[in-house]
Amino acid sequence: MTPVLAAGALLFRWEEGELLFLLLKNARHGSWGFPKGHAEAGESPETCARREIREETGMEITHFLPGFKEVLHYHVPPATREDGDGDYDKEVHYFVAPAPSSRIQRSKEHRESAWLSIEAAKEKLQIADLRLLLDKAGSFLRSKGVTDGELGDKNWS
């Protein structure tokens, strides 16, 4: 079975010297996660992630930081979907990007949004793979020297 392709990103910003990531709370099932969604036919993961971020947050992302791409694979059982849609494998490509703004224009797909520290975000994330993904993004940013208002040495290769 060919997996359903989806993509999204971990958006980050700084506030008073603290690294914060954006989480969205799904309106249908109440779980917290990162902006993401299903790819349209022929859409690359990068294009899908940009579109989903725009649709879910109102933000236009100009670039993802090179050197960070994580792919999660999981199975969606039919019992998890109210509409009966399910029983498929999913492949989600995640990128990391600086948020152009702290302001969110949340879509109707989500009932809450929050900018949270890594530790606070990990408390809200119910899925272990998403907590691990967040740790990886934080380590990546630290390894590249990303600091408040700066994108480090800009040597992203």
CATH classification of the domain holding 89: 3.90.79.10
Total number of domains in the chain: 1
Question: CB–CB of 19/117 below 8 Å?
Answer: yes
Within 13 Å of residue 93, how many CA atoms lie on the same side as its CB?
19
pTM for the predicted model, two decimal places: 0.88
pLDDT tens, per residue, the chain with 157 residues: 789 999 999 999 999 889 999 999 998 889 999 999 999 999 999 999 999 999 999 999 989 999 999 999 998 887 655 555 678 899 999 999 999 999 999 888 889 999 999 999 999 999 999 999 999 999 999 998 877 655 544 444 4
The answer to whether residue 60 sits within a structural domain is: yes
> How far is it, in rounded angstroms, from Cα 33 to Cα 8?
10
The answer to whether residue 82 sits within a structural domain is: yes
The answer to whether residue 149 sits within a structural domain is: no
The answer to whether residue 153 sits within a structural domain is: no
